[in-house]
Structure 1
Amino acid sequence: MSDASVRTARTDDLPAVGEVQAQVWRRALADVVEPETLQAFEAAEFEQAWRSSLAAPPSPVHRLLVATELDTIVGFVAVGPVMRDGAHEGEAEILAGGVHPDHRGKGHGSRLLNAAMDTLAANDRSYVRVRIMERDTPLVRFLATAGFVVSGGYADRIVTSAGDTVREIELHTDSSAPLEEQAHDHEH
């Protein structure tokens, strides 16, 4: 048995998934949001949201995957089809994910991303998008290395009561198209 792997989440994994998500969000937003907002990132709240999602997934394609190190949940990724008007049949998105800050640099992120892409491909989803904070340059570089390109789409999210914003950028990849074609089609 391997020391590190990725598998589909089970209900008994959800407290650990909630804890990982709380730690990931606290680290990512520590210098952006107000202290009371950081305190609201509680593992139990995230756990409850995942519990509801697993009990009634929005579609058969939606999946929550977890990365494990020995018997410890160290990361997660949630994927699903794009569910908005005008979306094409083969479109999907990475909805949320992350690796606990104490377990980064060990390949968990790559394993999670590969498993997510394989899961989506098995469901005939080749065009995958994700929105991330533009300021998270390590994550932007990681996704670029994995074949994602910046699409040009973005959203400025208000993150404080004073109206401060964080820009989220959209990246995508299309496993049905050569990488060179993807980059060429979306350069601005």
Structure 2
Amino acid sequence: MTDHGVRVAWARDAEALAELQLATWTERLAAPRALPEAADVAAAWRRSLTAPGDARLRVLVALEGDRLVGYAVVGPDPDPDASPARDAQLAEIAVALPSRGRGHGSRLLHACVDTWRADGFEHATAWLESSDDPRRALLTAAGWAPDGAHRALADEDGTEVTQVRLHTALA
């Protein structure tokens, strides 16, 4: 049986994180688009892992043995209506398609909550695409709920994505 676990990401995880992020983006995009080069995405991951700018910004990774199969990005909530001392944000959570259904998403989410609590956060939010049923199911099964906030984001091509915000108390 393969060991499963979660740990804080290291700089040497940058290439695996880039590969997983690009695979996730490809899966989630309705229409094929030009994605950044893997080397550029890996360089961005490496920079964010070695110089996060805020000690509470972290990347957690899910592992099957030594293989990285998921990640979550956590930190203070940057929304203008949030308190940087009390409100956290789940900026992104992803699990590789072949590794889904093995508890990695739940383990990552539990590690996020433990991390936020250790940092003194009391509340967490996550923005999800309104059509992202798998992530919504993961969060709502863990007690998250919509808070009524929504937004529309447009990419450089003008394609609009509607997002909804979910929240949870960390007490």
Query: Normalization by structure 2: what TM-score?
Result: 0.91
- DSSP-derived class of the 2:56 partner: coil
2:76 equivalent in structure 1 = 81
Structure 2 SS opposite 1:94: strand
Work out the CA distance in 1 between the residues paired with 2:164 and 2:80.
20
- Count the aligned residue pairs: 170
In the alignment, the residues of structure 2 paired with residue 66 and residue 117 of structure 1 have an alpha-carbon distance, to the nearest angstrom, of 14
Equivalent-residue separation in structure 2 for 1:65 and 1:132 (angstroms) = 19
Residues 1:43 and 2:57 are matched in the alignment: no
* Secondary structure, aligned partner of 2:55: coil
> Using the alignment, how far apart are the partners of 1:78 and 1:139 within structure 2?
14
- Find 1:157's aligned residue among 153, 159, 168: 153
Question: 1:27 matched to which residue of 2?
Answer: 27
Q: Which residue of 2 aligns with 1:174?
A: 169
Which residues in structure 2 correspond to 1:77-156 (within 5 Å)? 77-83=72-78, 85-88=80-83, 89-156=85-152
Q: TM-score, normalised by structure 1?
A: 0.83
Equivalent of 1:61 in 56, 59, 81: 56
SS in 2 for 1:105: coil
Amino acid at match of 1:132: L
Indicate if the aligned counterparts of 1:5 and 1:67 stay in contact, CA closer than 8 A: yes
The one of 66, 70, 74 aligned to 1:71: 66
Unaligned residue ranges in structure 1 (runs of 5+)? 177-188
Q: Structure 1 residue 155: deviation in Å?
A: 1.2
